Amino acid sequence: MEFGTGARDEAFRAEARAWLAEHLPAGAGRREWERELGAAGWIGLGWSEDGYGNRTASLTQQVAWAEEYARADAPARSGHIGEKLLAPTLIAHGTPEQKARFLPPVARGEELWCQGYSEPGAGSDLAGVRTAAVREGDTYRVTGQKSWTSLAHEADWCFVLARTRPGSVRHHGLSFLLVPMDQPGRVEVRPIRQLTGTSEFNEVFFDGAEARAEHLVGAEGDGWRVAMSLLGFERGVSTLAQQIGFARELGTVIRAAVATGAADDPVVRDRLVDQWAQLRAMRWNALRTLGSSDAEAPGAPSVAKLLWGRWHQRLGELAMEVRGAGAAVGPADWSPEEPYPIDELQHLFLFGRADTIYGGSDEIQRTIIAERVLGLPKEPRG
């Protein structure tokens, strides 16, 4: 087994965990960890500009850092939305004042961000956004609801795609706004409890009478171009790091299959090998398109999302199959006052049900490939 499942990698992870235990205070959360990374300059390696407290690195160096971070089983990041999505967008479209205001706190790990795109009636179809913003002097009053907003309960700021031109339709009349989350009674966050018992996703409500945004990125009405630019930053380096985690999960499933005797079944063995081969293919595809532009690799993000989303779901299903009846039993007694306990493989299966929905559903990804890559007739839209 390659990239992340061998004895050498286990020893490396044990050493990394020991370092974390020594250097992070007991009970430290993800925000403290972001500040630790920021203090050492490890946030913002991929930015095209430095001078904000960040180091800069070549694409190869960024891949090495991301893969070693994942291989060390380091804490989950809560600042990646600000670092990987907002910051490159501000560098490309923001004013000097906006860069000076927002990039240093991201680089220091002091301000966390969430992404206000999806809505109850406009999930993967961002052109259907109905959240509205009305300009009043130098500010906007924001009215609407965002859904499936990752880490909104921890975020200090939210970048919001809102309709600023009344009566506009589809991708016209949208603007890209920066909204502070600390507006009590004006911005409300409601966690969405998932199958896993946890609540990483949230609903966010903006009260149009009071919720304010003072920062517009790009021109008013040019939000679609800014938003599409942001989505282009989601390619490559993070995908390769994600695959390190996938390989570790696959190794756990293989060990479970051996422990339960399921690995003696030739059909199960074939499925395990198939998962491994597909993961290798995803890695080579990510390396092939790494750093390429939309013109050089059209539809590459959509292809990658289709590949890993369904692959990860199949791995979760296989994890439950090799566990047998024991897969339905939790590792500890259930209490109605606490989230019900589940183990690593149960979490893999339950959370994986969302893999083909969040980040752009499979249906939307296929439509993008059909229209923008294959040149097929566009799907009728209202």
Active site residue 234: yes
Instruction: Give, for 142, the enclosing helix (H) or strand (E).
Output: strand 139-146
Left (φ > 0), alpha (ψ -120 to 50) or beta: where does 51 sit?
A: left
Instruction: Give, for 136, the enclosing helix (H) or strand (E).
Output: strand 132-136
Catalytic residue among 68, 203, 234, 317: 234
- Residue type at 292 in one-letter notation: S
Angle formed at CA 271 by CA 265 and CA 276, multiple of 5 degrees: 130
* Spatial distance between the Cα atoms of 86 and 61, rounded to a whole number of angstroms: 21
Burial 50-59 (b: 16+ CB within 10 A, else e): eebbbeebee
Length of the chain: 382
User: Helix or strand or coil: residue 288?
Assistant: helix
Q: What six digits make up the tokens of 327?
A: 């897969």
Residue 254 CB neighbour total at 10 angstroms: 21
Question: Distance between terminal CA atoms of the chain?
Answer: 49
Widest Cα–Cα separation across the chain: 70
Measuring CA to CA, which residue among 20, 60, 22 is closest to residue 37? 20
CA atoms within 13 A on the CB side of 115: 25
Catalytic residue numbers read 234
